[in-house]
Structure 1
Amino acid sequence: MRLIKYTHACVRLDDGDRSLLIDPGVWTEPEAYDGVTDILVTHEHDDHIDLERIAALLTSRNLRIFAPEPVRATAVEENAPTVAAAITPVAAGDTFTAGGFAVTAVGGLHAEIYEGLPGCANVGFIAEGVYHPGDSFFVPSQPVTTLLVPAAAPWFKLREALDFTRAIAPARAFPIHDRMLSPDVGFDRFDVWMHMKGNTDYARIPLTEAVTLS
């Protein structure tokens, strides 16, 4: 299985003829969608789903999108009916197949930024051992071999990212949700701490490049 990192929170899983795209937001490179039929979306914020781009893609091919129900409601509100129609609502505890991968939905709530906000749904996804938590530090009961650990956000604290990684104890971890960090300084500062205190095999995947997961 190959794991490809795109800008911010978006990753792609490829394994033979299986492909699965997770959280393609407004900063995601266009090539991330090449050949993809199934998309997982953790929540409705535009750094995790690009409604305009997906609507454009739906004019020429079919897509299946798995996301919490509020994502579909947002698509309706934003006048993207074709996107809304392509969404299959999922909730924590659901298991399903997407892009040929066995997926389990976990968590349920977005991490708090301030005074209960944003207070929206957030579903993390475990796809055959690869865990994308979206905007949360939810620790699932299911085993995780590869953790995609958030690196920066309004709801973020470095201590929480380290505790989250240690609690899950994956075989390896790679950073996501890092668009708010400067590549020349912020990436390095986060990476140093994850290397020192993450208690896992940690590495950064260069944008649009892939690692092979054994």
Structure 2
Amino acid sequence: MNSIVRSTIVAQIGATIAIAASSVDVAPAHALAINGASSGISNPAQTIDFNDLTVGDRTVITNRYPGVTFSNLFASTYSNGSNITGRNLTNFSSGLGSGARNPFSIRFSTPRSGAAFAMVTVTGTATFTALLNGVAVETFNANTGFFGSNNFYGFTGSSGFDEIQVSIASSDNGGVIDTLQIGAAATPVPFGFTPLPGLAVSGLLSGIHRLRKQFAKERAEA
């Protein structure tokens, strides 16, 4: 094997490594924020309006719904005459004006592509964070209040999150949520791998073919 062929092989191997390296995806999952919208996610796989709750106000609500677990949330009957009606959930563990629990969270048994809910608070700022296995995927702050119909918050277009955590900063740190919309199960790309682009594969195969022809020529001339 002469030096030209050897150099060609080395170059081809280097190109293969470069293509493989370019296929590694180290970017974390992301999600788009739903911030003060008039509606939540499109075509939710499940919607929970909490109107089936028959327990008394301030009853702890945890795992009453399949696939969803709540933390620091309690049964409520607050209504703002808009998107918050009937039964709902609040982070008040006792009467309004006291006992607010922050942060509260909604956890899903499997990663979801999106989730949203209507929420009202005393005028203030709330922080919404989507997490996957305890690691933040996306977060945003929103100005929240009692009135108006543009009060849906959440995340959509995600490659996967299994929790939404909410922290409220207002005069009493309390909030009420209703109409929880849960998106389809997420199908994330396996971490660390993205399929090779078609052009890269074609180039690699073409290079291998040229090497085979060069080997055949060298052997014929030997």
Coarse TM-score class (shorter-chain normalised): under 0.3
Rg larger in 1 or in 2? Answer: 2
Question: TM-score, normalising length from structure 1?
Answer: 0.22
Which structure features the higher share of strand residues?
2
Question: TM-score, normalising length from structure 2?
Answer: 0.21
Structure ranking higher on relative contact order (CA contacts 8 Å, 6+ apart): 2
